[in-house]
């Protein structure tokens, strides 16, 4: 009988342990800032934040963040391989202004509903995220998006 009790105790302990938050759970999502599209562009910075190009350059090549290199060529010296299924972004600032770039990074499906490019700041209520801890989250934080924009506008 005693051994059965011990087994039940063990089962209970392991069940309550697995119900606890797994390690590495990201902090709660930041409040989502609404943005406005004007003439197929987003003129105002997300949440009124200011971007920094040096941080943006890291984000575009970080596989856990923007991972833009999976699809786009970017003029980054240390990078040997990049995806070619999307247009190269070298010189992109000669063709697109800051506000136009912002819409493309935030949610390119406003331009092309079939775009395979992730909407990095798409309204989270429109995203079906299977992992519970990701519900309500954008793919990139507003600050990350502004940093990426600050970097893209330097690509002349």
19-43 in b/e form (b: 16+ CB < 10 A) is eeeeeeeeeeeeebeebeeeeebbe
Residue 10 or 129 having the CB closest to ligand HEC: 129
- C-beta of 136: minimal distance to ligand HEC in Å? 20
Q: Which is nearer to ligand HEC, 142 or 152 (CB)?
A: 152
In the complex, minimum distance from the CB of residue 16 to ligand HEC, in angstroms, rounded to a whole number: 39
Judged by CB, which is closer to ligand HEC: 13, or 123?
123
Nearer to ligand HEC, 12 or 50 (CB): 50
Torsion angles phi and psi, residue 47, rounded to 5: 55, 20
Q: Which is nearer to ligand HEC, 62 or 123 (CB)?
A: 62
Burial profile 62-81: b = 16 or more Cβ within 10 angstroms, e = fewer:
eeebbbbbebbbbeeeeeee
- Rounded distance between C-alpha atoms, residue 94 and residue 122, angstroms: 25
Question: Rounded to the nearest whole angstrom, what is the least distance from the CB of residue 72 to ligand HEC in the complex?
Answer: 5
Q: How far lies 81's CA from each of 65, 76, 77, 132, in Å?
A: 17, 10, 11, 33
Report the nearest approach of ligand HEC to the CB of residue 133 (Å): 22
CB of 139 to ligand HEC, least distance (A): 8
Interface with ligand HEC (CB under 6 A) = 60, 66-68, 70-72, 85-87, 89, 92, 101, 104-105, 108, 112, 115-118, 120, 148, 152
């Amino acid at each position: 009988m005693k051994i059965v009790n011990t087994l039940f105790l063990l089962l209970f302990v392991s069940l309550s342990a697995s119900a606890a938050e797994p390690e590495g759970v990201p902090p709660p999502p930041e409040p989502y800032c609404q943005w406005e599209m004007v003439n197929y562009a987003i003129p105002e910075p997300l949440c009124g934040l200011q971007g920094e190009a040096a941080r943006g350059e890291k984000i575009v090549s970080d596989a856990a963040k923007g991972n833009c290199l999976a699809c786009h060529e970017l003029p980054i010296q240390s990078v040997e391989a990049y995806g070619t299924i999307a247009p190269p972004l070298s010189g992109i600032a000669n063709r697109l202004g800051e506000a136009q770039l912002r819409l493309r990074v935030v949610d390119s499906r406003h331009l092309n509903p079939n775009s395979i490019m992730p909407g990095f700041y798409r309204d989270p209520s429109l995203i079906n995220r299977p992992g519970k801890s990701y519900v309500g989250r954008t793919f990139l934080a507003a600050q990350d998006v502004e940093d990426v924009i600050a970097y893209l506008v330097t690509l002349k």
